[in-house]
Amino acid sequence: MSLLTLSLLLFQEGEAQIGFDPITMWRSMAWPARSVVILLLIMSCWSIGVMIDRWIAYNAARKQSRLFAPAVAGALKDGKIDEAIAIAEQNKRSHLAKVVTAGLQEFQAHQATAEISGETIEASKRALERAAAIVHAELKRGVSSLATTGSTAPFVGLFGTVLGIINAFRGIAGAKSTGLAAVAGGISEALVTTAVGLFVAVPAVWAYNYFAGKIESFDVEMDNSSSELIDYFIKRSSRGKK
């Protein structure tokens, strides 16, 4: 009998005794390693929840903003600020509507006469900046936890790997042998926690990068809308002085 054949027989015997299906490996794990897996599953569930929540929020913001932008532009072209504010209030999930509403309300509150002062425009500009900062924080809510999950999950899995190796050495000491059956349980335990850690981390990192790009795009759109609104106020001020 060759050495290769003997090794295959020993591996098949160890696999038959231990079993490498998820249920069997879970039962063979010590509670410290089980705790690591449970923690990783909780992190995974949290990440999935954040992904779903942000996906819904961003899609709603994008959809309503596409409807809001041309409608409010038409109202402002006709000088109907009240109508523009009403349109913005009908699209409360739009990131552009939240910013534009703040600027229009501030502008309307300071507009006592036909002549528009520079202080009114500056006050509206500050209101736009505050609103943009608030909306940015709302858009970013929960996204940082994806980065945290992506960076820490592999280390949590590595911690479980260390526990699995310790368990493997304990199996060797208890069985007083160095065969496959003595170490397979601990090694499989170590590999499972590592695999789960990577399984949790990779989607979280992908989602974080995707959502970060979305947030950056929203920030650019809010900045452009704020600039266009300030230009509109300046043009109205110029017309009022004539």
pLDDT at 165: 81
Q: Pick the closest to residue 92 from 138, 141, 54, 144 (CA basis).
A: 138
For 148, phi then psi, to 5°, come to -65, -45
CA dist 204 and 45 (Å) reads 11
* Half-sphere exposure for 2 (CA within 13 Å, toward CB): 3
pLDDT at 192: 83
Q: Is the pTM of this model over 0.85?
A: no
* Distinct helix (H) and strand (E) counts, the chain: 8, 0
Taking residue 148's Cβ as centre, other Cβ atoms within 10 Å add up to 14
pLDDT at 5: 52
DSSP string, 188-235: HHHHHHHHHHHHHHHHHHHHHHHHHHHHHHHHHHHHHHHHHHHHHHHH
pLDDT at 162: 85
pLDDT at 14: 46
pLDDT in tens, 24-81: 667 777 777 788 889 999 999 999 999 999 999 999 999 999 999 899 988 888 888 8
pLDDT at 183: 60
In which residue ranges of the chain is pLDDT below 50? 1-4, 6-18, 114
pLDDT at 76: 86
Tokens of 91: 């699209």
For the chain, the domains span 29-241
